[in-house]
Structure 1
Amino acid sequence: MAQEKFIGVICGLKSEAEAVSASVDASKIRVGISGANAARAEEIARSFCSDGASAIISLGVSGGLDPALKPGDLIIGETIIADDGSVYASDKYLLAAITSDHPGEGRGPETLRKMDPGWSLSSGRPLAGSGGRDSRGGYLVAKLFGADEIIDSASKKSALFHNHGCAAVDMESHGAARASARAGAPFIAIRAIADPADRALPQAALNAVAADGSTRVWSTLGAAMLDPKQFPELMKLGGDSAAATKTLRRSLGPLFARLFLCFDL
């Protein structure tokens, strides 16, 4: 009996997994939740690879590092730079499947050049509604930073942007990328910006994500009550996260349709 083909999707939060389930054909994917933990993301990716996953996708919200990005902007990760200095490249054919005007016409480099002679990993399709840039795709292909600790201040975000040139930061993609690289499985990351580069995270929110990817709502509110000045910042963060999740729900269907074509799913 032939092994059932699937794409492994790794999210940090339950809300991100729910966005996937609402947008993507569940029969073609398996979803794991890492709880914003790179080691857990790596473990899930390794398990998916052992089960024969056609590809591994790290997917969810992220913190903005590039000051030009705003909440809800969508990033396709070209490269993941980890805290330990490791660098993981996304699969160029998965990137091509997303960025090409003719998805599903083969995965070899010669075919890609015929599809678009000017295509490169860094070109991608620009974000909508920003500086008059092309609005057809609504995303940016860029580098991501994989952090092992929460990047909670605007100064830390600025340092990562200037030192590494990364557009966004998350806490799972580098773990999933590491396992994929070791298994030889195609990998790509899809992230939507939540908190922008100039926004510090409220202290009450720093322990908001539980190990199962749920949100510790009551403990977060309890922490904020000890310092009520944090409530406006928590409300802004909630709005930013909602904008990011809305982008995922809107974008994942078309993006995954292109990825499925790569693997005849």
Structure 2
Amino acid sequence: DEVVDQGRAMPTDTAWTLRLKAALPGVRVGAVAGSDVMVATAAAKAALRTATGAVAADMESHVVARAAERHRLPFAVARTISDAAHRGLPASAQAGMKPDGGMDLPGVLAALARRPWELPALIRTGVEAEAAFAALLRGRQLLGGTLGGPGPGADLG
């Protein structure tokens, strides 16, 4: 229902958020905390939740919210979670993150060679990421071409 960016809340469009909630079974509505850096440890996730009350954190939603606010456009956020709040992200997974959010497989493998004990956690992270992507695709199918938002030609002003 809002994106929290450096302590400032930017509310999502109420009607759009309600349409998303109605269209997506099991959805949880709440604040998303934006972060310009990866929130990789369970302690950092807990601190962010305490500070913002957010149900999730990401590195994208606050950028979209800022742009929507700047251009006076409605926006809504629908996220899937791949790394649970109670677990940290393995260092080998962090080493493989490109600035654009993509994966650097050679970087992951090099980090894993230095930290082989992380293999089980890295596998779990991969399985959870695949499940999150599958949920995202199911959501896209349920929402249709407008992603649950105002249709073509809708008055956005």
| TM-score, structure 1 normalization | 0.53
- Which amino acid in structure 1 is aligned with residue 2 of structure 2? T
Secondary structure of 1:185's partner? coil
Cα pair 1:95 1:188 within 8 Å, conserved: yes
Q: Which has the larger radius of gyration?
A: 1
Partner of 2:26: 138
How far did residue 257 of structure 1 move? 4.8
- 2:29 is the counterpart of 1:89: no
Deviations 1:135-176 (A, max 9, x none): x82211111110111111111111122222111110011011
- 2:154 is the counterpart of 1:231: no
- 2:3 is the counterpart of 1:80: yes
**Distance in 2, Cα, partners of 1:153 & 1:212:** 20
- 2:51 is the counterpart of 1:163: yes
Q: Aligned match of 1:149 in 19, 33, 37?
A: 37
Partner of 1:209: 97
How far did residue 240 of structure 1 move? 0.8
Q: RMSD of the TM alignment (CA)?
A: 2.0
- Which amino acid in structure 2 is aligned with residue 96 of structure 1? L
Partner of 1:132: none
Secondary structure of 1:138's partner? coil
Deviations 1:49-103 (A, max 9, x none): xxxxxxxxxxxxxxxxxxxxxxxxxxxxx11111x222211111211322358xx
**Distance in 2, Cα, partners of 1:254 & 1:229:** 40
- Which amino acid in structure 2 is aligned with residue 81 of structure 1? V
Cα pair 2:17 2:77 within 8 Å, conserved: no
Larger helix percent? 2
Give the share of equivalent positions with the same residue, in percent.
29
**Distance in 1, Cα, partners of 2:68 & 2:85:** 29
How far did residue 245 of structure 1 move? 0.5
Q: Aligned match of 1:193 in 61, 81, 84?
A: 81
Cα pair 1:150 1:171 within 8 Å, conserved: yes
Structure of higher RCO (CA pairs closer than 8 Å, 6+ residues apart): 1
Larger strand percent? 1
CA shift in 2, pair 1:100/1:248, >3 Å: closer
| TM-score, structure 2 normalization | 0.87
CA shift in 2, pair 1:100/1:220, >3 Å: closer
**Distance in 1, Cα, partners of 2:147 & 2:106:** 38
CA shift in 2, pair 1:220/1:261, >3 Å: closer
Aligned length: 153
Q: Aligned match of 1:99 in 21, 40, 47?
A: 21
Residue ranges of structure 1 left out of the alignment (5+ in a row): 1-77, 102-135
Secondary structure of 1:238's partner? helix
Cα pair 1:98 1:258 within 8 Å, conserved: no
Partner of 1:220: 108
Cα pair 2:140 2:147 within 8 Å, conserved: no
**Distance in 2, Cα, partners of 1:94 & 1:188:** 6
**Distance in 2, Cα, partners of 1:153 & 1:96:** 31
**Distance in 2, Cα, partners of 1:153 & 1:97:** 33
